[in-house]
Amino acid sequence: MAEVVQCSVHEGVAVVSINHPPVNALAWQVRDSLLTALECAEMDSEVRAILIAGAGKTFPAGADIAEFDMPRKEPWLPQICTQIEMCRKPVVAELHGTVLGGGFELALACHYRIGLRSTRVGLPEVKLGLIPGAGGTQRTPRLVGAKVALDMILSGRMLPLDQAPYRIFADRLVVEPEDLRAAALEFCHEAVSKGPRPSCERREGFADPVATQLELTKRAADEADGPENARREAVAAVEAAFLLPFDAGCAFEEAAFADLVASDQSKALRHAFFAERRAAKVAQSVDPHPSQIKTLAILGGGMLASQLAVAALNAGLAVRWGIADSDRRIAAWTDVEDSLEDAVSAGDLTKQVANDALKRLICGTMPDMIKNADFVIRAAEGLQRSDMAEDVVCAIAVAENVDQIGLRFARPAHLSRLVEVIEGPRARPDQLESAIALVKRLGKQPVHVRSSGETIGGRMMAALHRAADALVDLGASPYDIDDALTKWGLELPPFLQRDATGLRIVGRVERREGGMNWSAVLAQAGRTGRASRQGFYSYLGDAATPVHDDKALTLFDKHRADTNGVKKTDIVPLILGAMVNEGARLVDEHVAACASDIDVVMMTGHQFPRWRGGPMKAAELHGLFRVARTMQGANHPDKALWVPHPRLAALVRNGEGIEALTN
């Protein structure tokens, strides 16, 4: 096996190359070898400058995220960065690919940086519930100022190195990949005469102290009430960079990082990172490359079809849009044009890109549009698979029974990331693989589901609503339930959500499990939801402000027997318990492959906050044993809600986490 760090000397320059595919993550083995290589190079009298590079597709894209769950092992990245910065010989970073997180911090600790123009840089730690932990919060603002540093750290985005204000991070840029090494070696020779240039001694980013302090005060206020701790700590650490000497600022960063890495929020976000990648990998035995799908036929003239057309055009596909009604064809074209124009106005697309996208769209009759398509999506009810070639996959995107392949897009389909890829009872493996490839080609998150039309999201949301109703049966106030779930992190809690949908519609769903249909009770009393300004809540003003309404509570009390009520602190564990029970059932029935797939569905398509990790991870972080105990204390005729499913009971008994819930 190749060494993870290779070192060779070229005319006085030690080239230290990190070779740890796929992304050169800075795992312990890499750090250990890197430190040894740097020490050797510094001691070697033949070496006058050191070049640090990444082999393969990128300079390191960060720390090894999997290691954050393990005890820290020396040498740590901050030590290596200090060693580099204090090196008596100039150290140059050769950048290409995605220079992220710890990789970017390593680059900033080097005295100089040369990079490919296409390089992207970023500090995405906040997406993992962390802050940069190897001097990134201290060195970045010293070079580029608090505003840009905080934009980078708080957005976590990948940014173009060749554009302002990020251009400052590179001393020289190279266009062609094949020219990079020669240019880097030449640059190293120039650096010998300049000598080391430690980033910790730079202050140009703080040239205007008043503006810096104002920016920091504003950012601290912006983040004060947000749920995510890492964002607040990031602002505090950048403030420390401004106010404290470098070493003290680094100590501040280190302490904050240590707290965050052990926090539930970071554990949840790390789970989300790996869960999404795992979900995208299902059933890849044939693995058609995503780019093999070039032409997509969409059948149907409704809203879903038009959102799908926009999504596909944005992803660069050619779209053949089959609509039966010729008048609708003209209106549909205008819908897509409007949607692209909105994206241009919002700055998400350039006019040129939008125009090019429209050139890839044609509308016609369904039989015509199916011809020459690589994949067909049926986005209207009741259409039959007409004269399509046998080998073309036709996926159903509407809520119908699925025999072969279904694609259930979270709405709005052009903006949401989630697509549940349903493998029906008669699906062939190659059809499933094509469907997953298409979803990836659309830049969306696939999750594999085995069913005849049911979705993971549908089942989990139904469990949430059933549990919420059951808590009302047990005497809880819907306001307390919504309040507890909002504070927990749900954007739109269940009763507010129902008011928005309309209680006549929601009330039609029967409760077979022995409880009142509270939505129907309200609808019968004329409280039909937000549109009528009365539902679970009353609505003031332009129907935008929901307020608690005693009349609704009186109505509930008429219909429910005296109960002991529900402790407010039990509301969230009981809702999570009902959901984790449903999750265990979904895995047991082979609808979902594993617990983390369920979390991906809920985080990407059903407004569950990522920093909670989805309902399955959230239940684990709360403590599966604690959740199960609270469930056992709830006495409701709907036994499926709170009698722990055998798979959940087994996890609790064996002290296992949700990763053991697979089929």
Comparing CB distances to ligand COA, the nearer of 128 and 619 is: 128
Is residue 310 near ligand COA by the rule CB under 6 A?
no
| Residue 22: cis peptide before it, omega within 30 degrees of 0 | yes
Q: Which two tokens stand for residue 339?
A: 């949607």
Instruction: Return the SS3 of 194.
Output: helix
> Which residues, other chains included, contact 20 with Cβ-Cβ below 8 Å and sequence gap of 6+?
4, 27, 29, 30, 60
H/E stretch holding 98 reads strand 98-100
3-state secondary structure 125-162: HHHHCCCCCCCHHHHHHHHHCHHHHHHHHHHCCCEECC
Stretch that binds ligand COA, among 19-27, 168-176, 461-469, 615-623 (CB under 6 A): 19-27
Count H helices and E strands in the chain, helices first: 27, 19
Give me the 76-115 binding string for ligand COA, x by CB under 6 A, dash otherwise: ----------------------x-xxx-------------
Stretch that binds ligand COA, among 122-130, 139-147, 461-469, 539-547 (CB under 6 A): 122-130
Comparing CB distances to ligand COA, the nearer of 125 and 335 is: 125
Q: Which two tokens stand for residue 405?
A: 């392949």
Which of 94, 105, 253, 276 is catalytic? The answer is 105
To the nearest whole angstrom, how small is the minimum distance from the Cβ of residue 98 to ligand COA?
Answer: 4
Q: Which two tokens stand for residue 205?
A: 């980013």
Determine the Cα–Cα distance for residues 630 and 572; give it in Å rounded to an integer.
10
Is residue 442 near ligand COA by the rule CB under 6 A?
no
Comparing CB distances to ligand COA, the nearer of 173 and 275 is: 275
To the nearest whole angstrom, how small is the minimum distance from the Cβ of residue 323 to ligand COA?
Answer: 35
3-state secondary structure 41-83: HHHCCCCCEEEEEECCCCCCCCECHHHHHCCCCCCCHHHHHHH
Is residue 5 near ligand COA by the rule CB under 6 A?
no
Is residue 125 near ligand COA by the rule CB under 6 A?
yes
Out of 23, 298, 373, 437, name the contact with ligand COA by CB under 6 A. Answer: 23
Is residue 508 near ligand COA by the rule CB under 6 A?
no
Q: Is 105 a catalytic residue?
A: yes
Comparing CB distances to ligand COA, the nearer of 31 and 622 is: 31
Out of 20, 37, 62, 369, name the contact with ligand COA by CB under 6 A. Answer: 62
To the nearest whole angstrom, how small is the minimum distance from the Cβ of residue 662 to ligand COA?
Answer: 16
Stretch 218-277 residues interacting with ligand COA (CB under 6 A): 277
Is residue 65 near ligand COA by the rule CB under 6 A?
yes
Comparing CB distances to ligand COA, the nearer of 50 and 275 is: 275
Is residue 63 near ligand COA by the rule CB under 6 A?
yes
3-state secondary structure 431-488: HHHHHHHHHHHCCCEEEEEECCCCCHHHHHHHHHHHHHHHHHHCCCCHHHHHHHHHHH
Determine the Cα–Cα distance for residues 618 and 166; give it in Å rounded to an integer.
37
Q: Is 125 a catalytic residue?
A: yes
Which of 42, 67, 94, 125 is catalytic? The answer is 125
Out of 1, 2, 8, 22, name the contact with ligand COA by CB under 6 A. Answer: 22
φ, ψ of residue 591 in degrees (nearest 5): -70, -45
Comparing CB distances to ligand COA, the nearer of 125 and 233 is: 125
For 518-547, b where at least 16 C-beta lie within 10 A, e where not — what string?
Answer: bbbbbbeeebbbbebbbbbbbbeeeeeebe
The residues that touch ligand COA, with contacts defined as CB under 6 A, are 22-23, 25, 61-66, 98, 100-102, 124-125, 128, 277
Positions annotated as catalytic residues are 105, 125
